[in-house]
Amino acid sequence: MELIHQFSSGLFIIQSVIFLALLFLLGKFAWKPILKSINDRETSIVDALNQAKLARTEMETLKEDNERIIREAKIERDAILKEAREIKDRIVGEAKDAAKTEGDKMIESAKQTINAEKNAAMADIKSQIGTLSVNIAESILKQKLDNSEAQNELVQNYLNKSNLN
C-alpha cells in the first residue's frame, strides 16, 4: 500500500492554532515560573558565592588580627617578664645592701664592744698589776729596809736613778 501524504491547509491551520495555544499556555503557566525559579536559583548562587568571598575575607582579617594580638601579647608578656626580673633584681639588690649595711653595723658594734671590753680588761689588769706591784714592792722593801744600811743603799740608788733620768 502506498501512502501518499497530501497537504491539507485546514489541518495545518488547526495544528498551528493548537501549537500556538500550547505555546501560550506553556509561556503563561510553565515557562515564567520555571524561568523565575532559574533566575532565583542563579541569584541565590551568586549571593552564596559573594557571601563565601566575604566570609573568606573576614576569616583572613580575623586571622591577621589574631596573629597581631598574639604578637602584641608576646611583646607584653616579654615586657612584663623583663619588668618582673628588674623588680626581682632590685629587691634582691636592696636586700643584699640592707643585709650588708646591717652586717657592717653589727660588726662595728661588735668591734666597739670588744674594744670596750678589751680596754676594761686592760684597765683591770693594769690596776691588778699596779696593786700587785705595790704589794710586792712593799713586801720587798719591808724585808730590805729592816736594817739601816739597806735603807741608805736604797735611797742612794733611787737618787742616782733620779739624777740620770
Tell me, yes or no, whether 101 lies in a domain.
yes
What's the number of domains the chain is made of?
1
Domain span at residue 80 reads 42-120
C-alpha cell at 10: 485546514
**Side-chain-facing half-sphere of 43: CA atoms under 13 Å:** 6
- Write down the pTM of the prediction: 0.41
Q: Tell me whether residue 153 is in a domain.
A: no
**pLDDT in the model for residue 152:** 75
Map 67-130 to HEC letters: HHHHHHHHHHHHHHHHHHHHHHHHHHHHHHHHHHHHHHHHHHHHHHHHHHHHHHHHHHHHHHHH
Distance from the first to the final alpha carbon of the chain: 188
Does 89 map to a domain?
Answer: yes
Q: Is residue 138 part of a domain?
A: no
Strand stretches in 12-55, DSSP E: none
* Portion of the chain with pLDDT greater than 90, in percent: 54
**Residue type present at position 75:** I
In a domain, 9, yes or no: no
Asked, for residue 133, whether it belongs to a domain, the answer is no
The number of C-alpha atoms within 13 Å of 93 and in the hemisphere containing its C-beta is: 6
Per the CB < 8 A criterion, the answer to whether 145 and 139 are in contact is: no
Tens of pLDDT along 122-155? 888 888 887 877 777 777 767 666 667 766 777 7
Q: Give me the mean pLDDT over the 84-100 stretch.
A: 93
